[in-house]
Amino acid sequence: MAQLTEATTDPEKARLERIAELTDPATIRYLETIGVKEGWTCAEVGAGAGSIARWLSNRVGHFGKVHAIDIDPGMMDGITAPNLEVRDQDISETPLDEGTYDLVHCKILLMHLADRERVIGEFARALKPGGYLLVEEADIRSIQRVDPPSPLLTRAAAALETFFYFGGADPGYGMKLLPAVRRTGLKVLGTDCQLTAVQAGTPEIATISMSLAKLAPMIVTAGLMGQKEIEAAFDQLEQPSDTVIYTPTTVSVWAQRSDA
């Protein structure tokens, strides 16, 4: 099974930190492009382990504010600042206040929500005039590409994708994001996507093996793969070899409330 490469006792926190390590450099580039400024009020929704909330808190300074929102805020333990408020909030139940934010950001959140179309509309309405929305969502179908071809790993990737659908998530939501942002009425300013190739047996493979580890028991229970098959897939991911697999593709769209 997946080995944690860091001395952390919480596998979910370690998984979130890996996702952040992989995806934050691009997020920060987009935030720089938007031009986040001192004094801004920002919402970081589905904040995970809190790395982007911390970046925003440093950037907006003493006169700014960051609301770091998550249904599992314990993952942000240890991230504190006078301008940073960690909120235990289910964004599907309690929307952001309207007309409040200079920036709303979320990453790998909406794809998990059954009511994603409503929530993205609420994000748009939560912006002040001239405020910015940066939404980043994954398309996990890219992880089915393996070289050299491995029917076992491709099968594990397909099982992950199917499992997402079972839970009401959309594993391909990244590709639907651009029209979804346009439907909010915001003006789309830019879009980009990130895809990384990771090699078996290297620390970077953990972004994939940790997600598979999280869902493996449920994949087996659902009959999508057998226990032995899943274990063989982990071995193939974790043994050093020339096998290369793509990460999920992260699609990012940034947009502005244009009645500035």
Ligand X SMILES: C[S@@+](CC[C@H](N)C(=O)[O-])C[C@H]1O[C@@H](n2cnc3c(N)ncnc32)[C@H](O)[C@@H]1O
Q: Which residues lie near ligand X (CB under 6 A)?
A: 16, 19-20, 23, 46, 48, 69-72, 75, 90-92, 107-109, 112-113
Q: Which CB atom, from 22 or from 236, has the smaller least distance to ligand X?
A: 22
Please report, for residues 85, 185, 205, the alpha-carbon distance to residue 248 in angstroms, rounded to integers and kept in the order given: 30, 28, 12
Give the chain's length.
260
Q: How many CB atoms lie within 10 A of CB 47?
A: 31
Q: Which CB atom, from 58 or from 258, has the smaller least distance to ligand X?
A: 58
Q: How far is the CB of 46 from ligand X (least distance, A)?
A: 3
Q: How far is the CB of 165 from ligand X (least distance, A)?
A: 17
Sign of CA dihedral 120, 122, 125, 127: negative
Q: How far is the CB of 9 from ligand X (least distance, A)?
A: 18
Q: Which CB atom, from 43 or from 200, has the smaller least distance to ligand X?
A: 43
Q: Which CB atom, from 173 or from 236, has the smaller least distance to ligand X?
A: 173
Q: How far is the CB of 27 from ligand X (least distance, A)?
A: 8
Question: What backbone phi and psi angles, to 5 degrees, belong to 23?
Answer: -105, -20
Residue number closest to ligand X, CB atom: 48
Q: Which CB atom, from 20 or from 157, has the smaller least distance to ligand X?
A: 20
Q: How far is the CB of 123 from ligand X (least distance, A)?
A: 12
- Cα 135 to Cα 123: distance, rounded to the nearest angstrom: 10
- Cα 112 to Cα 189: distance, rounded to the nearest angstrom: 25
Q: How many CB atoms lie within 10 A of CB 116?
A: 22
